[in-house]
Amino acid sequence: MPIVNFHLVEGLTTPAQDERLLIGACQLYAEVLKAPMERVRAFITLHKATHFALAGGLAAHNGLHAPYFEFIVLDGRPLEDRHRLMRGFTDLLVDALGVRRDLVRGSCRRVEPQDWAIGGEPASVIRKDEVAARAALNTPPP
């Protein structure tokens, strides 16, 4: 289920930078979540500089590149893992694209396992044992 989408201004990155960002994101996800690589997805959505506003102006006029990322995890992932991904995706954007750290924004969306499909079936069914094990780790002792 690990999915990340980077929103970037069109024309401000090279294909090599895009590849470094996407491959790095896949590796980070697999490492942090201990997920098999075949489950990981990473995307770049490009926006025209005339369709991307930041700091009160269009990127076409102010020349700023302020990427936004959003990533999805199944609910039950520890807060520490989610924070590690936030830092990691920010680091990747700064290192791979040379953007200013203070302009990077991102968010995590947690999805209930019964609301996520894997091959047309709910993750709560397909990944029942994994979801239960994760819940047991995150439940405080009585």
For the stretch 49-65, pLDDT in tens is: 999 988 888 988 888 88
Question: 88-126: per-residue pLDDT in tens?
Answer: 999 999 999 999 999 999 999 999 988 988 889 888 888
What proportion of the chain, given as a percentage, has pLDDT over 70? 90
Instruction: Identify the band that residue 128 occupies on the pLDDT scale cut at 50, 70 and 90.
Output: confident
- DSSP, collapsed to helix, strand or coil, labels residue 53 as strand
Give the homologous superfamily in CATH for domain 3-111: Macrophage Migration Inhibitory Factor (3.30.429.10)
- DSSP, collapsed to helix, strand or coil, labels residue 41 as strand
Work out the average pLDDT over 75-82.
92
Domain residue extents for the chain? 3-111
Work out the average pLDDT over 22-51.
94
- Crossing angle for the helix pair 79-97 and 15-33, nearest 10 degrees? 160
The neighbour count for residue 61, using CB atoms within 10 Å, is 10
Edge-to-edge strand order for the sheet containing 3-9? 41-47, 3-9, 68-74, 105-111
